[in-house]
Amino acid sequence: MTRKLFIKTYGCQMNVYDSERMAEAMGGQGYVVTETPDDADMILLNTCHIREKAAEKVYSELGRYKGLKAAKPDLKIGVAGCVAQAEGEEIMRRQPMVDLVVGPQSYHRLPELEAKARTGAKALDTDFPEEDKFEHLTARPKAKRGPTAFLTVQEGCDKFCAFCVVPYTRGAELSRPAERVMREARDLVERGVREITLLGQNVNAYHGHERGLAGLIRELETIDGLARIRFTTSHPNDMDDALIAAHGECEKLMPYLHLPVQAGSDRILKRMNRQHTAEQYLRLIERLRAARPDLHLSGDFIVGFPEETEADFRDTLALIEAVEYGSAFSFKYSERPGTPAAERAQVPEDEKDDRLQRLQALLTKQQRALQDAMVGREVRVLFEKPGRLPGQMVGKSEYLHAVHVEAQGIGAGDIAPVRIESSGPNSLGGVLMAM
């Protein structure tokens, strides 16, 4: 009997990948994905613990399903991901309507947990099993895919930044063997994927290939039909010489890098346990741009970290001025229970708000300047889907800019040269060049 599965995904690209794999695992149990919870036989929340009040948002979302559960007693409700890992038993205590809870390292066990829940029992699994979950998942169905895909190659983190819960919810750094990654990559390409983004909490700490992430990228370059390679998210301390060289030498590795620094003050970086200085980060950027002069950079920034002063914040603004980011993610510091920073003196909320507005104004100015500078340039666009207007197609440039064109005869998965003629707030407009 066919059942319907509704998955709501929070957070990062790795959760998007995990949700895809969970859907595939449940597909082997007769489930098909639905876009609405109203007609679902199972609702699964794949959660993230990074953002402020993450757990409370999950409880709020669960509260919305009480009516559905009352009207449909056979409906099964599950919580997966990092909030599940951190608060598994508490979730079931606070929300008795939840039937199963599964952590991010155990979701290959989801079918057996669902089977247990079908008997009326509660199912909880937040272990860190030794077996490779990816090898225990149902093989991906051979349906066609869109032109881009995520592929997780590394999980967990050993850095223990003072603000971060990832080491506690995802566990220690673990890399998938290169041969398994290559097998999955070839399967994706066979089904229409042209661009693969390699994922990891600390992806450049990947050690599943004897030559690290750079070695894996160079091997992926040999796959016929794979046109583009990206990776995220990186730590500055794991950006080794081989990976820097790959940015200049690997044709399929795109000239875009997300390299979080979090702050520009050495005092705050030390308090964050980042294990590098602002100067070391800036010198690393110089080396990367020497290898690939047109490299566009993205970063992460936290403002209002405990004990941050105005002088510390100005150091962060100075670092941003020096780097010139093409895009960035920025947040006010929020306490994550169980992390060292949560126990320290907190910056007042009004100061956090003020600093975030000033920082985002600078980042927006840089982003617009770099985007406006694309006007008149020729880029190669991987087209992904139709645009809002008839005959319009939308895709991504090498630099991850969204680009829209009027393109007759162009379809999803095609790569074509485009001359950029306009720059908007969130996208570029262009015209198709002769192939």
**Backbone torsion region of residue 77, taken as left when φ is above 0, otherwise alpha when ψ lies between -120 and 50, otherwise beta:** beta
DSSP for 207-225, please give it.
Answer: -SSTTHHHHHHHHHTTSTT
Burial class of residue 245 (count of CB atoms within 10 Å of its CB; 0-12, 13-18, 19+) = middle
**DSSP-based three-state secondary structure for 325:** coil
Count CB neighbours of 265 within 10 A.
23
Tell me the CA end-to-end span of the chain in Å, nearest whole number: 49
Binding residues: 12, 48, 82, 157, 161, 164
Partners of 298 in the β-ladder = 258, 327
- C-alpha of 88 from chain center: 23
Nearest-10 Cα torsion for 102, 107, 109, 111: 90
Sequence-ordered list of residues with C-beta below 8 angstroms from that of 222, at least 6 positions apart, any chain: none
Binding residues for [4Fe-4S] cluster: 12, 48, 82, 157, 161, 164
Distance CA 378, CA 264 (A): 34
Treating both helix axes as pointing N-terminal to C-terminal, what angle do 278-291 and 310-323 enclose, rounded to 10 degrees? 10
| E strand spans, 251-342 | 256-258, 296-303, 327-332
Of the candidates 300, 238, 295, the residue with the CA atom closest to the CA atom of residue 269: 300
Partners of 430 in the β-ladder = 405, 420
Count Cα neighbours of 388 within 13 Å in the Cβ-side half-sphere: 3
Distance CA 253, CA 251 (A): 6
Using alpha carbons only, what angle is made at residue 322 by residues 320 and 326, rounded to the nearest 5 degrees? 60
Distance CA 257, CA 246 (A): 12
- C-alpha of 100 from chain center: 25
Q: Are 99 and 79 in contact (CB under 8 A)?
A: no
Distance CA 321, CA 308 (A): 19
